[in-house]
Amino acid sequence: MADRYGITGQSYVGENLKRGSDRIFHSFNSASASNTPWEFFEANTDLVDEACALAKEAFKSFQSTTFNARAAFLRAIADEMEGLGDDLLQVFCLESSLTMARARVERARTLHQLRSFAGWIETGNHCEAIIETSQGGMRPDIRKMMVPTGPIVVFGASNFPLAYSTAGGDTASAMAAGCPVIVKSHPMHAATGELVASSIIRAARATGMPNGVFSNLTASSYEVGEALVLHDAIAGVGFTGSLRGGRALYDLAARRPRPIPVFAEMGSTNPVVFFDGALKDEAIRSEWVVKMTESTSAGVGQFCTNPGLIIAVHSEALTAFVQALSERLNGVQAGDMLHPDIYHKFNQGATDFVYQPGVVELTSGVKTNGFAASSRILEVSGSDFQNNPNLHHEVFGPLSLVVRCADVEQLEAVVASLGGQLTGSLIGVENDFISHSRTIELLKSRVGRLIFNGVPTGVEVNAAMQHGGPYPATTDQRYTAVGVMSIKRWLRPIAFQNCPDDLLPEVLRNENPKGVMRLVNGEFSSRHIE
Amino acid sequence: MADRYGITGQSYVGENLKRGSDRIFHSFNSASASNTPWEFFEANTDLVDEACALAKEAFKSFQSTTFNARAAFLRAIADEMEGLGDDLLQVFCLESSLTMARARVERARTLHQLRSFAGWIETGNHCEAIIETSQGGMRPDIRKMMVPTGPIVVFGASNFPLAYSTAGGDTASAMAAGCPVIVKSHPMHAATGELVASSIIRAARATGMPNGVFSNLTASSYEVGEALVLHDAIAGVGFTGSLRGGRALYDLAARRPRPIPVFAEMGSTNPVVFFDGALKDEAIRSEWVVKMTESTSAGVGQFCTNPGLIIAVHSEALTAFVQALSERLNGVQAGDMLHPDIYHKFNQGATDFVYQPGVVELTSGVKTNGFAASSRILEVSGSDFQNNPNLHHEVFGPLSLVVRCADVEQLEAVVASLGGQLTGSLIGVENDFISHSRTIELLKSRVGRLIFNGVPTGVEVNAAMQHGGPYPATTDQRYTAVGVMSIKRWLRPIAFQNCPDDLLPEVLRNENPKGVMRLVNGEFSSRHIE
């Protein structure tokens, strides 16, 4: 039985809605401190088996669909999502307690992602075609391209109910690659998930995709996720969330009889290093007070690129900067967090930090107002930070720890003590960057994206973006989770040796009507082969 | 104390020769059934720690060497190895019992690999540069490239003492990437390993590379290898060898606090499917008797691409083919295997196969003559094969199992029952390929390289080669172990956001004097950016 939004509370196993079990769970609205109006039926391992069998079968034909056909499917998903209109945005806001403005921005991002992948696969360049011809029979003719790996399981992120969830980057990239997808729906936004899932199912039907190309399993327990990761039909996993959750899935997948890759994006502390030149200039300093206030508090700090660390050498200018930042953040209204769990974990994490040796709080601290959190700035010395592993992990939410270093040497040691990060930012004037090349090198070796004079939040969706980084930011630093290059996670190379031209996949044939860029006998070329 | 070949039996910890422990082991000459003249000192975990600390320190400068400087280093290694002249070939033959002709071919391959990587990194194209400009300030300027991941541990293969060992593909690709390498020397060819290691050390000195860019630990026990894989300084592992060995290292690396990738190439059965059209034509059939004899027996079958399975539908032509092949193989002289262990494992594996239900031997079976093995052809029905997992693994050596299928349907089921493979071959006339598209699709989804009318042995070293495949052929099907693209295993992307042009690495700057191919705002270009 569907309500006015069309929510049934059931799982999509391929195109069929199924309950799985009679166990029920709810999503929650933090703003009103009450359950949302929907009941969700907990999927079970029977539905896992069914969805996996369908995906395996669907892969047989889906992997060979033309790039244009898959692009049409992705565009149809975007159109269907757009067609849901304000319903989708309202459900999004109810389940996330995020603003309508944010809902609109995130929807736009999600549609843009789907359409970007469509555009990228239409070029054929995602195949990374490489051809070595026989040179008149002197050697075998070998032609290599990327092909899809198989059915993929996606675990969405709590903090991006659209852009990193049901039809988010992981799903869009896997489908663009030619891999069927099974989403383990995020229980905090199960209704948003079902609405988006219905769009994918309609789009699949409209564009003639096989049943099983997509499933959406509604579940709040670990059982369903674990069964999916362990299922023999599954070829890979995409995950966005906590270090604990990501590592658990990685460990599970690694001990399968046939191990599979887990691409887990597990957030980070995103250090922002302020150099003296920038801090000493009052105009620049004021500008950064505004920018850092926005970056710390936006989305109630619930971004994986939220700036959790501010690192600088002790100076009066630093004191002035930190004071101004704290004051400005005190003036920012507390925002409802996504879910009580996240709110409680944030408060607990902040409290744990406050009780660490040498940590002082500069903002006015915790305020009690339902599940709304205000931004917090703490401070600690470089020496207290460096040797205390309890201060090195992410506290998910609007919290930044200022690490005040005694001198440049300590600043370098602090940066060298950091684990892998999604981003690292460097704020300075030109001279700062020249005189701190060692700090820059140290930070560079620990991050996926090195930002000059910019905040870490705001992740552009394009081919040059790297959203990833050394462990524990991700389980596989060789890939990005954002931008069209994230399709690489779901592809593997295959070489064809002495294959008759008409049996080759289109992008490897002598004729190259689309002008695909190929590496031919060591030279890049978009031309035909004579 | 070095002998006339310069063998000291010690480990290279950076450029210093060290014993580690007083425990001694020997390499062995199968042909004479006796130890080689050298004593090797077992490295220990102290040497592991020293080599890792040196590699970590060396990485700081080595990662930033210019592509031309690294290319000069790789070419110097090749030149130094060539400079060893016949000494290297003699030691190779003594330790492997392979022929002098093979030694020459393998050395040529090894030198070609080193020089190929030099050529590839000189182009700068291995950086896969991607640039998205700010479009007049509308968005951040983001520029992405591949950078080295860190110190790499290499486990060489017993069967390629040069091409897949000390200065083989894994070492050459990692150093080309900018990663220091620590080799766990293969105990079966520890002298060959030391000679090659000395070449690398001399080349490193001559080209000004930092001490620690290379170490070679001489060890026969598991302890040293395990300590290397678990060491915090290590960023990745290359391995060529058995499924058991590769999986053990994979499991070890996966349970590290900070997991690292293990690229293990673990061999496969390399199925060769014969279609009726080819078998029925007597001229074609005779040609394939010759080719398969050569492919099965070359190198005493000690290749990871040795054809371990011949699959075809029952026919008189198949009987004639298999009979002729067996007879011809009976006439091939038995060859000394690399080592008694390998010889015993081969005999044991073949015996295990012979005792499986329905298996018959067509060749004349085991002959006792020291550690020399003759080629063996066994046969089994499709139904007996399909459901018997004991027949699905590789027997390393000159053995092929003929799987005689009742009909095309059973042939498809047999192919569908196979695990991941490095290669799959299809032998047929044009019509065969058209009428067996389902078989081809099934095989394609299980292999890294699909070969038309060719044997699996003979792995071309070039950019289009894919030497890899789904598990259990490798632990990571997304990469190749052969050809310049194998450099990808040791690289990760990093994005620079709003980085001043003069602080960017050369390949990402606006000026592009080398004409590196870059993806700029969605279009491939080797030009400057205005």
Confidence of residue B4 (pLDDT cuts 50, 70, 90): confident
By three-state DSSP, how is residue B87 classified? helix
Which of B261, B465, B526 is nearest residue A142 as measured by Cβ atoms? Answer: B465
Interchain proximity A440–B503, CB inside 8 Å: yes
Amino acid at B79: D
Cβ pairs bridging A and B (under 8 Å)? 187
Cβ–Cβ under 8 Å, residues B478 and B124: no
- pLDDT, one tens digit per residue, over A275-295 is 999 999 999 999 999 999 999
A519 in contact with B, Cβ within 8 Å: yes
| Chain B from 351 to 370: CB within 8 A of any A CB | none
What's residue A4's pLDDT?
Answer: 85
**CA nearest to B312, candidates B431, B425, B200, B221:** B425
- pLDDT, one tens digit per residue, over B183-232 is 999 999 999 999 999 999 999 999 999 999 999 999 998 999 999 999 99
**Beta pairing, strands A214-218 & A236-240:** unpaired
Q: Examine the pLDDT at A189 and tell me if it is beyond 70.
A: yes
**Mean of the pLDDT values across residues B164-181?**
98
N-terminal to C-terminal alpha carbon distance within chain B: 61
B400 in contact with A, Cβ within 8 Å: no
Q: Examine the pLDDT at B2 and tell me if it is beyond 80.
A: no
**Mean of the pLDDT values across residues B251-263?**
98
Name the minimum distance, in Å, from the CA of B372 to any CA of chain A.
32
Chain B residues in contact with A461 (beta carbon < 8 A):
none
Confidence of residue A530 (pLDDT cuts 50, 70, 90): confident
Q: Examine the pLDDT at B365 and tell me if it is beyond 80.
A: no
Name the minimum distance, in Å, from the CA of A422 to any CA of chain B.
10
- Residue that is written with structure tokens 């690192």 in the block: A311
What's residue B369's pLDDT?
Answer: 79
Whether the domain at B11-26+35-123+144-266+480-488 and the domain at B271-452 fall into the same CATH topology:
no
**CA nearest to A193, candidates A75, A52, A92, A43:** A92
- pLDDT, one tens digit per residue, over B422-449 is 999 999 999 999 999 999 999 999 999 9
pTM above 0.90, yes or no: yes
Q: Please state the length of chain B.
A: 530
Read off the tokens for B151.
Answer: 């110190």
**Mean of the pLDDT values across residues A378-396?**
97
Cβ–Cβ under 8 Å, residues A45 and A219: no
Is B127 annotated as catalytic? no
| Chain A from 414 to 453: CB within 8 A of any B CB | 419-420, 430, 433, 440-441, 444, 447-453
C-alpha distances in angstroms, B225 versus A251, B218, B257? 22, 10, 18
Q: CB pairs under 8 A, 24+ apart, for B522-525?
A: B522/A463, B524/A125, B524/A517, B524/A524, B524/A526
CA-based torsion, A199, A200, A206, A212: positive or negative:
negative
C-alpha distances in angstroms, A434 versus A439, B64, B504? 10, 17, 12
Query: Of residues A367 and A167, which shows the higher confidence score?
Result: A167
Q: Examine the pLDDT at B1 and tell me if it is beyond 60.
A: no
**CA nearest to A481, candidates A297, A323, A265:** A265
CATH of domain A13-21+50-126+146-266+480-488: 3.40.605.10
B516 in contact with A, Cβ within 8 Å: no
A238 in contact with B, Cβ within 8 Å: no
The catalytic residues of A are 265, 304
Interchain proximity B464–A251, CB inside 8 Å: no
Domain regions of chain A by residue span: 13-21+50-126+146-266+480-488, 271-452
Backbone angles phi, psi at A126, to 5 degrees: -70, -15
Asked, as a colleague might, if the bond just before B472 is cis with ω within 30 of 0, I would say yes
| Chain B from 21 to 50: CB within 8 A of any A CB | none
How would CATH label the architecture of B11-26+35-123+144-266+480-488? 3-Layer(aba) Sandwich (3.40)
What's residue B276's pLDDT?
Answer: 97
How far is it, in rounded angstroms, from Cα B347 to Cα B373? 8
**Mean of the pLDDT values across residues A402-408?**
98
What's residue A1's pLDDT?
Answer: 47
Which one of 3.30.310.50, 3.40.50.2300, 3.40.309.10, 3.40.50.261 gives the CATH number of domain B271-452? 3.40.309.10
How far is it, in rounded angstroms, from Cα A191 to Cα A90? 11
Cβ–Cβ under 8 Å, residues B385 and B47: no
